[in-house]
Amino acid sequence: MAKGYWVSVYPAITDPEGLTAYNKLARPAVQAGGGRVLSRGGRVVAHEAGITQRVVLVEFDSFEQAVAAYESEAYQKALVALPDGFERDFRIVEGID
């Protein structure tokens, strides 16, 4: 079965404290959904149209599990904590089986 991944890129973080509030709620929601954080804000080398801002990569055992974790009540509560004016490019992608 192909794994599922959350890929988040943060082009702009105008309220780092607000991001901390989101992270306090999101981390347990991701773990409860079976997610494993593989990368969170480490070094980035961007090519072509890429950006060097924060990138987060979370792995799940399946694509369906990744979608279910996003749609979970716990994660939806975390999304409410994202600060106003927050910019994020978020995708759920299926890995190669």
Q: Which residue type sits at 92?
A: I
Query: Using CB atoms within 10 A of its CB, is residue 46 exposed (0-12), middle (13-18) or buried (19+)?
Result: exposed
Residues lower than pLDDT 50 in the chain? none
Determine the pLDDT at residue 61: 98
Instruction: Tell me if 35 sits within 8 A of 6, measured CB to CB.
Output: yes
**Letter string b/e over residues 55-93, b meaning 16 or more CB atoms within 10 A of that residue's CB:** bbbbbbebbebbbebbeeeebeebeebbeeeeebeeebe
List the domains of the chain with CATH numbers.
Answer: 4-94 (3.30.70.100)
Determine the pLDDT at residue 91: 97
Determine the pLDDT at residue 11: 85
Determine the pLDDT at residue 12: 79
Determine the pLDDT at residue 26: 94
Determine the pLDDT at residue 21: 87
